Structure 1
Amino acid sequence: MTKPDNLRFILREAESKGWTYHEFIHEILNYEMNCREKKNNERLMKWAEFPEKMTFENYDLKEQSAIGEKQLNVLKELNWIEECFTLIMMGPTGAGKTHLSIALGTHAVDKGYQVSFVSMNQLMYILKTREFISKSQTRYKRILSSDLIIIDDVMYMTYEAQEGNLFFQFIYDLYDKTAFILTSNKGPGEWGKFLGDPTLTTAILDRLLHRSEIITFDKEADSIRMKYRKAIF
């Protein structure tokens, strides 16, 4: 229904059920509040830029051994966002790291938090071009104002010294101001090889690991993507 249609429906309900003036006003206010919440949720979902729709409804805990139902329920409470925690999801490709991170991000949006999802490569591009490309500048400002930043595929490839410095400055600026989810198929101990500067890597990890939880996905597990892959023939 469009907004006028909904209002006409409320008026008909009020007439048929004999609502009092106060009951009518209460229904109108509830309707307006629900409309605003829906509009805000749509805006936050758009800003999050999730690559695809992934929720807890289609996340099967039995497919992985990284966390159990009790731990997942703790994460769903989202207190760790308020405390600016870092969740590091570590494990092989296709283990379910990205799905869990997007599901948590979507859940956070539904609760009114501003979330940004970005791959490590996309983030590097934004950091390098934000001074002279307006789209990168807009995206960068939205990331900075987020309550939760999800960085996918951290240290998937080797980065140059300039990129490493930009990433350090990014973490430094947001330290103690926002929560992070980082997914990676490399452990934090290996990140120095990809940034090329052990000292810089130590400084980054010092901030990220100050308040953190490392969720390790089984290295021996089969890829969930391959298990449920679709084929033409």
Structure 2
Amino acid sequence: MSQLYQVQQLLKTLRLTETSNEISKLIKAAETNEDSYTTFLLEILTYEQKRREEKQIEKRLKWATFPYHKTLNDFNLGEQESLSKKQLNQLKELTWIEQLFNIILLGPPGAGKTHLAIGLGIEAIKQGFKVVFTSMGELIHTLKTEEITRKSQTRMKRIRSSDLVVIDDLMFMAMDQREANLFFHLINDLYNNASIILTSNKSPSDWGELMGDASITTAILDRIIHRAEVIHLNNDSYRMKHRTSIFGSESVQN
């Protein structure tokens, strides 16, 4: 039994699994660089910590269930006249999550609401927060089936234990009485426990029509807007501006 094998097994026993898998390369690098014992030990511990953090981020990204991966660096701020670079940097700092503030992103389809919401969610995960992304349609379905399916129970448990919940396409469809009640109870559970990012193409003043109950709408708005920043992304659809045409530069009319 070689010493290297014994070292690998001891590292696994001590739950330093990442280092165990890489120890031979770390040893060779230390020998090449003629590192001191202290430097070598620091390299080992630093590597283990870095890999654990990376795996934790990978795990949280998987749990977040983003529909696609787009960071804030991919966000074209030049397309958004209503959002300055300073404001975007303030959002990126994420102090609003620590203060339990909510972010409401309003604007027409294709204005960049979902991209911005996902970018903030990814940034939050990198900074150690637990994040969940859900569309409004998916959320309502999960709430309605929570009592009867284990999958929905697990999903709702993650949502309620998150630091940041992103709800996309809020109020894109009307809710019945039961759905509105379930949504209210979730917002009530998250109130003072998590931050929420909401994206919607409808103003909060129009939400009442889609919920069908003025009292529930008022209760929901009271909890969401109590601490909230409302950002209007009123530019033309980014997807329409940058769409690919089968006709090249020619329009259908030409």
Is TM more than 0.5 here?
A: yes
Using the alignment, how far apart are the partners of 1:154 and 1:198 within structure 2? 17
Query: What does residue 22 of structure 2 align with?
Result: 6
Shift of 1:18: 2.0
SS in 2 for 1:170: helix
Letter in 2 for 1:128: K
Aligned partner (choices 184, 187, 190) of residue 174 of structure 1: 190
TM-align CA RMSD: 1.4
Q: 1:227 and 2:230 equivalent?
A: no
- Which of 1 and 2 has greater Rg? 2
More divergent stretch after superposition (222-231 vs 101-110): 222-231
* Cα distance in 1, alignment partners of residues 101 and 36 from structure 2: 49
Q: The residue matched to 1:143 in structure 2 has which SS? A: helix
Are the counterparts in 1 of residues 19 and 47 from structure 2 also a CA contact under 8 Å? no
- % identical aligned pairs: 50
Equivalent residue in structure 1 for 2:48, among 32, 36, 60: 32
Q: How much has 1:57 moved relative to structure 2? A: 2.2
Equivalent positions of 1:1-233 (< 5 A) are 6-218=22-234, 221-231=235-245
d(CA) in 1 for partners of 2:175, 2:240 = 29
Summarize the Cα distance change of 1:193–1:56 in structure 2 as closer, same or farther, 3 Å threshold: same
Aligned amino acid, residue 197 of structure 1? D
Q: Deviations over 1:22-45 (max 9, x none)?
A: 111100000000110011000000
Tell me by how many angstroms 1:230 deviates: 3.3
Distance 1:62 1:124 in 2: 35
Distance 2:123 2:50 in 1: 18
CA distance in 2, matches of 1:231, 1:28: 53
Q: Cα gap change, 1:229/1:3 in structure 2, threshold over 3 Å: closer, same or farther?
A: farther
Q: Deviations over 1:150-181 (max 9, x none)?
A: 00000001110000000001111111100000
Distance 1:231 1:138 in 2: 42
What TM-score comes out, normalization by structure 2 length? 0.87
Q: Tell me how many residue pairs correspond in the alignment.
A: 230
* Residue 231 of structure 1: how far off its partner (Å): 4.6
Q: 2: CA distance between counterparts of 1:17 and 1:94?
A: 53
Question: How many angstroms apart in 1 are the aligned matches of 2:194 and 2:246?
Answer: 43
- The runs of 5 or more residues in structure 2 that have no matched partner are 1-17, 248-254
TM-score w.r.t. the length of structure 1 is 0.95
AA at the equivalent of 2:102:
T
Question: Which of structure 1's runs of 4+ aligned residues deviate more than 4 A?
Answer: 2-5
Inter-partner Cα distance in structure 1 for 2:31 and 2:25: 10
Q: State the Cα deviation string for residues 86-135 of structure 1 (Å, max 9, x = none).
A: 10001111000000000010111111111000011111001000111111
Distance in 2 separating the partners of 1:5 and 1:147:
33
**Helix, strand or coil: the match of 2:183?**
helix
Q: Distance in 2 between matches of 1:108 and 1:134?
A: 27
Q: Distance in 2 between matches of 1:46 and 1:230?
A: 30
Q: Which has the higher contact order (CA 8 A, sep 6+)?
A: 1
